[in-house]
Structure formats: C-alpha cells, structure tokens
C-alpha cells in the first residue's frame, strides 16, 4: 500500500511533493509494488551464455573472510 499523504513542514498553500511510499507495508506490499512497476521496465532479451574454459579464468581471488562461506556452498566447496 502506497501512502501518498505525508506530514510536511512547508508553508500553508505551498506546493508539497508527496511522501515516499509507506515504509510499514511489509513484504507483500513490496512484492505488489514491484509487480506493478515490472511492466514499465522490461528486461533485456536473454542471451545464451557459453561455458568458459578454465584456462581463460585468471586471477580469481576470494577474501579470507569469505572462504568459509564458499566452502559451505555445495557449488564451490564440495
């Protein structure tokens, strides 16, 4: 739910822009807002990605604080 009524310290009769959206709406409200906006911003056409041979991958480094996180992911650590 979008709340366009907001409190303002502007002088009476002055032009007031609406307040930002209702910040208390929750996840369902956010998902609904995103679904309505998605029609305005279409995604670019998908292109098929091609696999890259390991010989083309150079200088990949992982910060030490992230190593344990990556080791725990089955895609990277197993």
pLDDT, averaged across the chain = 74
Which of 33, 32, 3, 37 lies closest to 18 in space, CA to CA?
3
pTM greater than 0.75: no
38-65 pLDDT, tens digit per residue, is 888 888 888 888 888 888 888 878 888 8
Q: Where are the alpha helices (DSSP H) in the chain?
A: 27-38, 64-71, 74-77
């Amino acid at each position: 739910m979008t709340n366009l009524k907001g409190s303002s310290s502007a002088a009476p009769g002055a032009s007031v822009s609406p307040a930002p959206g209702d910040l208390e709406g929750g996840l369902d409200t956010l998902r609904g807002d995103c679904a309505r906006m998605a029609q305005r911003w279409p995604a670019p056409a998908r292109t098929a990605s091609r696999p890259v041979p390991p010989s083309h991958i150079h200088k990949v480094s992982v910060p030490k604080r992230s190593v344990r996180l990556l080791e725990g992911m089955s895609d990277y650590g197993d």
